[in-house]
């Protein structure tokens, strides 16, 4: 049931974005999100339940104190549904990698050119670094689906954790300076600094971070390719 509610909420949000003049769509998004919260409270336990109820009660109290209209209680739900929609749709961006069989071609290159796990680690993090420079969240599924099958050619312990580290470490470095990173624009606005002043130092800093990560990854226990 809750999955259906999430799907309906995301579809309603997309329609509300495409048709902003239809206020009923915004109201339906809020109503669906309120139902999602109520249904979720029946499933969660522990800290999640405590924090959820705390925020729900505090938010309701703030609306009561401010003498908000009854409609404001409903419309207060759903402010973050865009993030849920974003994370749900991001994997779709990896479809060109699958349909175009780019991963297969990349695997062939890796089998011929890459000789060790540290070398593969550097390749994966560099690829993730490149994608993250101009694609932000889309870099994660693209990098993963492009190289995920390549690690099967190497004897690597904890393969899932290994590839996640390689991708996320490379992904994180461009977030210091990439213009599509929201925090970069926020910092520039609050400090009054021009982008040209910080661009070069931050690029150099991110590259140094990438090189340091390669150095630390190279100190791990070596493994050998399975196909040699």
**Can you tell me the mean pLDDT for 63-84?**
80
The pLDDT value given to residue 207: 93
Measure the CA–CA gap between 131 and 174, rounded to whole angstroms.
Answer: 9
C-alpha to C-alpha distance for 20 and 15, rounded to whole angstroms: 8
| Two tokens, residue 194 | 């021009």
106/199 same-domain check: yes
Dist CA 140 CA 144 (whole Å): 6
Confidence at residue 181, expressed as pLDDT on a 0 to 100 scale? 79
Higher pLDDT, 63 or 182: 63
112 in the same domain as 64: no
Which pLDDT score is estimated for 204? Answer: 94
pLDDT computed for residue 55 by the predictor: 83
pLDDT over 60 (residue 223): no
177 and 202 in contact (C-beta within 8 Å)?
yes
Are both 99 and 71 inside the same structural domain? no
62: number of CA atoms within 13 Å, CB side? 8
More confidently predicted of 220 and 148: 148
Same domain, 127 and 214: yes
Cα 142 to Cα 131: distance, rounded to the nearest angstrom: 8
Predicted confidence (pLDDT) at residue 227 exceeds the cutoff of 50: no
Confidence of residue 195 (pLDDT cuts 50, 70, 90): confident
Q: What is the extent of the structural domain holding 198? A: 91-218
Domain boundary among 19, 52, 79: 79
> Are both 112 and 154 inside the same structural domain?
yes
CA angle 38/42/46 to nearest 5° reads 115
**Rounded mean pLDDT of the chain?**
81
In a domain, 225, yes or no: no
| Axis-axis angle for helices 195-218, 159-172 (nearest 10) | 160
List the one residue out of 207, 199, 117 whose CA is nearest residue 162: 117
Residue 226 counted as domain residue: no
In tens, the pLDDT along 123-170 reads 889 988 988 888 777 777 778 877 877 777 777 878 888 888 889 999
Residue 86 domain-assigned (yes or no) = no
158 and 197 both lie in a single domain: yes
- From 49, 79, 109, give the residue that closes a domain: 79
84 found inside a domain: no
- Whether residues 72 and 182 share a domain: the answer is no
Higher per-residue pLDDT: 151 or 28 = 28
Query: What digits encode the pLDDT tens for the residues 74-109?
Result: 778 877 787 777 777 766 766 776 676 777 777 788
pLDDT of the residue at 43: 80
Same domain as 37, residue 97? no
Give the pLDDT of residue 90. Answer: 67
User: How far is the C-alpha of 78 from the C-alpha of 91, rounded, in Å?
Assistant: 22
Ranked by mean pLDDT, the top range of 8-12, 22-26, 66-70, 133-137 is 8-12
The mean pLDDT value for 107-115 works out to 80
Ranges 45-54, 77-86, 188-197, 204-213: which has the least confidence: 77-86
The reply to whether 165 falls in a domain is yes
pTM: 0.62
């Amino acid at each position: 049931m809750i999955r259906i509610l999430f799907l309906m909420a995301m579809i309603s949000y997309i329609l509300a974005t495409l048709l902003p003049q239809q206020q009923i769509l915004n109201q339906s998004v809020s109503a669906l999100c309120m139902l999602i919260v109520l249904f979720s409270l029946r499933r969660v336990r522990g800290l999640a339940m405590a924090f959820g109820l705390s925020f729900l009660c505090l938010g309701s109290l703030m609306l009561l104190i401010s003498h908000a209209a009854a409609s404001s209680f409903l419309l207060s739900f759903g402010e973050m549904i865009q993030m849920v929609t974003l994370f749900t749709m991001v994997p779709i961006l990896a479809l060109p990698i699958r349909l175009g069989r780019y991963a297969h071609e990349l695997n062939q290159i890796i089998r011929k050119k890459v000789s060790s796990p540290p070398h593969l680690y550097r390749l994966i993090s560099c690829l993730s670094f490149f994608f993250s420079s101009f694609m932000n969240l889309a870099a994660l599924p693209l990098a993963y689906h492009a190289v995920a099958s390549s690690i099967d050619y190497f004897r690597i312990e904890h393969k899932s954790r290994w590839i996640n580290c390689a991708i996320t470490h490379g992904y994180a470095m461009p977030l210091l300076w990439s213009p599509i990173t929201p925090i970069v624009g926020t910092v520039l606005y609050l400090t009054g600094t021009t982008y040209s002043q910080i661009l070069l130092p931050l690029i150099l800093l991110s590259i140094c971070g990438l090189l340091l990560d390669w150095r630390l990854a190279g100190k791990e226990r070596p493994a050998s390719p399975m196909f040699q």
